[in-house]
Amino acid sequence: MTDLFASLPEEERAFCDMLQRLSAARLAPLAAETDEAGQFVHAQLACLTDAGMMGANLPAPHGPGLSATALLRAVEIVAGACGSTASALTAHYLATDSLHLGGDAALQARFLPDAAEGRTLGAFALTERNAGSDPADMKTRATREGAGYRLKGSKCFISNGGFADFIVVYAVTDPAAGHRGISAFVLEKGTVGLVPGRVERTMGLRGGHVWELDFDAWVPEANRIGPEGSGFKTAMKVLDNGRVEVAAMCIGIAQAALDAATDWVKTRIIGGQPLAARQGIRWQLADMATDLRAARLLALEAARQRQAGQRFTEAASMAKLFASEMAHRVTDSALQLHGGYGYTRDFPLERLSRDCRIMRIYEGSSEIQRTIIAAHLLH
């Protein structure tokens, strides 16, 4: 497992070791209670702020300049302790990545320092009820009004949306231009006309709330991210990053499930012997571990390409596709190995199974990832 990260510089390995200890002590003990109560992960994000994780995706001068490989490991660690916390954290990354990849220096200077220090929380608003997989169907509009724009529309499934201090909103500025007519804007908390709607009642990640957002709000031109029409290009770059981070979340959750199953079969006595003495059980664990190693290697390759400044869209889609499908298989097998106990809330398996289910849907469903991969093959 961690031997795959042995090549990390000493400073980054020390950072990940610290984060592992903090996550075990401060995040994991709250995970079941957070899920049960459906409470947003405010306290957990505060812990990550103290650890320096809120800006870990950003290069200097706004962030610590953590390598893409170290970031992969760090997100994996957080997700293994609490999926809800990792979900809120990586949603924040989508917002700050939008500014880092698409914004000018002035806009970055206004928002990124506070976001990187955890003083503000970001959200990323792309999805709409009728425009999930294809942003070209987006109905939210941004029309010129004075020295800015009037944003009108609705978004759904927006992680952090109701608590965010700033929301990166994607909207159509030129309806005739298709993808090239999409622009991005920063909508600040308290803006007149920004109305958080209901919190969705989700199956898993119940501490990482997702919201409906409605707005009929004016934003100054200075809050536009990049030139008009550059929003789609920015969003696709952001989603490449996000898909590697989703892969990391899947790996962290699956590792937690495999660890729980391994401990269980060593100590669960049936017929006078531990379950681990049975060949069928051993083979099942071997398949789970192999699946998990393959997902890590795919994610590491995507992170390596990202770190090298290469185009990594295909690698990110492969990592996200395989890891999200793998997490389903591994958590389900781990639950099965626990028998009836795995189905109870006294053990973490049913929560891990619910938490990983969304991974095959968000940041582009498995079907969308297959479409992207096939397009690269046939190009």
Please tell me the distance from the alpha carbon of residue 364 to that of residue 334, in angstroms, as a whole number. Answer: 26
Which residues pair with residue 194 across a beta bridge?
215
Mean pLDDT for the chain overall? 96
Q: Residues for the chain: how many in total?
A: 379
Closest CA to 110 of 224, 227, 233: 224
Q: In sequence order, what DSSP letters do the residues of 189-207 get, joined into one string?
A: TT-TTEEEEEEP--SS-TT
User: 251: which residues sit within 8 A by CB, 6+ positions away?
Assistant: 76, 79, 292, 295, 296, 299, 323, 327
**Residue 135's pLDDT is what?**
74
**Residue 137's pLDDT is what?**
84
Domain boundary assignment for the chain:
2-116, 122-230, 233-378
With bands split at pLDDT 50, 70 and 90, how would you rate the model's confidence at 132?
low
Tell me the CATH class for 2-116: mainly alpha
Q: Which CATH number fits domain 233-378: 3.10.200.10, 1.20.140.10, 3.40.50.1820, 3.40.50.300?
A: 1.20.140.10
Cβ-in-10-Å burial (0-12, 13-18, 19+) of 139 comes to middle
Q: Which of 188, 314, 363, 367 is the catalytic position? A: 363
Q: pTM for the whole thing? A: 0.96
**Residue 134's pLDDT is what?**
74
Contact, 107 vs 99, CB < 8 A?
yes
Q: What percent of the chain has pLDDT over 90?
A: 95
CA 212 to chain centre: 18
With bands split at pLDDT 50, 70 and 90, how would you rate the model's confidence at 3?
confident
Query: Mean of the pLDDT values across residues 52-80?
Result: 96
In the annotation, is 212 catalytic?
no
Closest CA to 99 of 118, 122, 67, 119: 122
Q: Which CATH number fits domain 122-230: 3.40.50.970, 3.30.930.10, 3.40.50.150, 2.40.110.10?
A: 2.40.110.10
Tens digit of each residue's pLDDT (9 = 90 or more) over 304-358: 999 999 999 999 999 999 999 999 999 999 999 999 999 999 999 999 999 999 9
Give the least confident one: 60-64, 113-117, 243-247: 60-64
Task: Tally Cβ neighbours within 10 Å of residue 244.
Answer: 30
CA 317 vs CA 46, 202, 289, 370: distances in Å: 31, 24, 21, 8
User: 366: which residues sit within 8 A by CB, 6+ positions away?
Assistant: 321, 324, 325, 360
